[in-house]
Structure 1
Amino acid sequence: MRRRSFIKFLLSTPLGRLISGLLFTGAAAGVLYLDLQKTDVRRSEGALKAILLPYPKLSGLVSVEEALANRRSIRDYTEEPLTLEELSQLLWAAYGVSETRYGLRTAPSAGAQYPLELYALVGTNGVKTDKGYLAPGIYHYDPHSHSITLLKQGDFREDLYYAALEQRWVLTAPVSLIFTAVYSRTVRVYGERGRVRYVPMDLGHAGQNVYLQATALGLGTVAVGAFNDEEVARILGLSERETPLYIMPVGRPASRYKLSEKELIDYIEKHRRR
């Protein structure tokens, strides 16, 4: 029996359904995964199961002004994982729903076409939950149900690291958010201007949201645009209509930047005297 046929048969049995259930419930040793082998779970029957994220919080301890002042591109992270709540908040801030009549998002989009898609590449022990750790793998974010779906199981950080021209922070971050674009959504309304002007603007808006939310949560991130498009598309399993645009590793900063009002005033005064 061929391997794929065997897996399909196994998942149809009671034992297979139990194993599939353990993948998401965390019943095995208090974790959310059983096998670290890289697999495309989209090819397995019944494997696409949404994980409902904690509800987004609409208030925090850090003001917009503080987040703007202390936002930096962070490339050095500790080994600590993110929490599921932090991942939830980052995904919502990046591209979640902030208006409930039409489902408008936290980031503006030309003509409300929303060409971007958002993925989370989670490393081994990269996201801590109440029951252990989120299964390592590639997840797709659904903003309307505020949930993620595991598309490919396994720790793909090393693959992404090589695709991103061996930028170390892509390898060491516990999670990388990856933005892609379906250009046709915007191009059908605005033509080629949508491709060269409006979609990049949409990406900038969403990327800055990630920066500011990460800062407010005490996390760090950096926008990575240097990578092999074809390799990243292969890792994510994208169709031809979808193009990768941004990789944003996220982790706990090894050192924190903090701007004081005095430093800012002194800087401004020095340049006023020139």
Structure 2
Amino acid sequence: MSNQKHDAKKRKLLKLIGGIVIVGGALATWLGLERLQSNRTSSITRNGATPSEKGIFLPLPRFASGVMLEEAIAWRRSIREYKDEPITIENLSMLLWAAQGLTEFKYGFRSAPSAGGTYPLEVYVSISGKGVLVNGAEYLPSGSYKYYGFDHSIKLIKSGDVREDLAKASLNQEWVRKAPVSLVVFAVYERTMKVYGQRGEKYVHMEDGHVGQNIYLMATALNLGAVVIGAFHDEQVKDTMGVEENEQPLYVIPVGVSKEPYRITEEDLAEHFKKVRSLE
């Protein structure tokens, strides 16, 4: 009889412990989700994308290029020759939105995927004196600007045309000197590496590639030309753009109105593949 009572007490105790474990696990899961949402939401502000003080609100993003994704992929090329004319502020708005613009509003997800939603990248833009047309007669002041995805704005960091210094920092690549604007992508590695350790460095570089392709495709859709550049002196680029000490340059991307846009049709592709297959 005593053994039966002992077994009954033991079963009750195990049930109690099991219940505590279940409740504890559920609580831990809930707290984890809350922490994830908090981290992602705070990353909108903590990771540099805060509403800018005395900034310039860009025109709102519009889905109006009229170019299909398939066409943008087919027409994408590294373009280094540009017409001597500005891009529009609407163009600039779409390029920056494609690079790091907000596309989801609960967690602050952006246009390019990021490992763990850590968002290590910051985007700056060099604008020449008559590089960005605001209306028929006005231009954005020349200088180095920082993009803020939270409210889709840019803030002036350094006044004056920095193209010459940026070109020198980029080993005197002439397209940097000639382009009306250059987007410059920087990384704050610790945002990702504090979560993923040394592996996080690879994730940052993957994300940089995503952003570069987004800019390429948006430029193509807007009938602009762009080329990604990785050959430059890091410290000179940082000094030229006036960035934070922990922001490291990864891309310089000149953008302008293309002199000779590349075009290919669905029929061109079909003709090529039919010809190649006939030789097999």
Q: TM-score interval w.r.t. the shorter chain?
A: 0.7 to 0.9
Look up the match of 1:186: 192
Q: Deviations over 1:112-141 (max 9, x none)?
A: 100000001001100011260000000000
Task: Give the corresponding residue for 1:175.
Answer: 181
Q: Which amino acid aligns with 1:139?
A: Y
The equivalent of 1:9 in structure 2 is none
Contact 1:48 1:150 in 2 (8 A): no
What is the deviation of 1:102? 1.2
Q: Distance in 1 between matches of 2:199 and 2:229?
A: 24
1:97 aligns with 2:102: yes
The counterpart of 1:71, out of the listed 70, 76, 85, is 76
Would you tell me which structure has more helix in proportion to its own residues?
Answer: 2
Kept in 2, the 8 Å contact 1:70–1:215? The answer is yes
Tell me which amino acid in the other structure corresponds to 1:250. V
- Which of 231, 237, 251 is residue 226 of structure 1 equivalent to? 231
AA partner of residue 152 (structure 1): K
Aligned counterpart, 2:211? 206
Secondary structure at 1:220 match in 2: strand
Which TM-score applies when normalising by structure 1?
0.81
Equivalent in the alignment of 1:49: 54
Shift in Å, 1:270: 2.5
| Paired residue secondary structure (1:188) | helix
Distance 1:112 1:59 in 2: 28
Is 1:149 aligned to residue 188 of structure 2?
no
**SS across alignment from 1:148:** strand
Q: Aligned-residue CA RMSD in angstroms?
A: 1.3
Q: Is the aligned partner of 1:85 residue 2:68? A: no
For residue 269 of structure 2, what is the amino acid of its counterpart? L
In the alignment, structure 1 residue 110 sits paired with structure 2 residue 115:
yes
Are 2:144 and 2:242, in contact at CA under 8 Å, matched by a contact in 1?
A: no
Q: What are the superposed Cα offsets for residues 191-228 of structure 1, whole Å, 9 maximum, x if unpaired? A: 01101x10010001111000000000010100000001
CA distance in 2: counterparts of 1:201 and 1:101, whole angstroms: 24
1:153-197 CA deviation, whole Å, 9 max, x = no partner?
Answer: 0000000011000111000000000000000000000001101x1
Task: Return the alpha-carbon distance in structure 2 between the equivalents of residues 70 and 245 of structure 1.
Answer: 24
Select 2:143's aligned residue among 132, 137, 143: 137
Larger Rg: 2
Aligned-partner residue type, residue 69 of structure 1: A
Residue type of the partner of 1:202?
A: E
C-alpha contact 1:48 1:151 (8 A) present in aligned 2 = no
* Deviant stretches of 4+, over 3 Å: none
Counterpart of 2:58, as a letter, is L
User: Pick from 228, 237, 255: which aligns with 1:250?
Assistant: 255
Q: Is it true that 1:215 corresponds to 2:220 in the alignment?
A: yes
* SS in structure 1 of the partner of residue 264 of structure 2: coil
1: CA distance between counterparts of 2:68 and 2:157?
35
For 2:274 and 2:234, the matched residues in 1 are separated by 45
Cα deviation, residue 269, structure 1: 1.9
Q: Identity rate of aligned residues, in percent?
A: 52
Give, in whole Å, the separation in 2 of the partners of 1:243 and 1:110.
Answer: 18
Distance in 2 of aligned mates of 1:270 and 1:227: 42
The runs of 5 or more residues in structure 2 that have no matched partner are 1-51
In 1, Cα distance between equivalents of 2:142 and 2:180: 10
Task: State the shift of 1:48 in Å.
Answer: 5.4
Residue type of the partner of 1:233? K
**Structure 2: which amino acid aligns with 1:232?**
V
Between the two proteins, the alignment pairs up a number of residues equal to 227
Gaps of 5+ in 1: 1-46
Secondary structure, counterpart of 2:175 in structure 1: helix
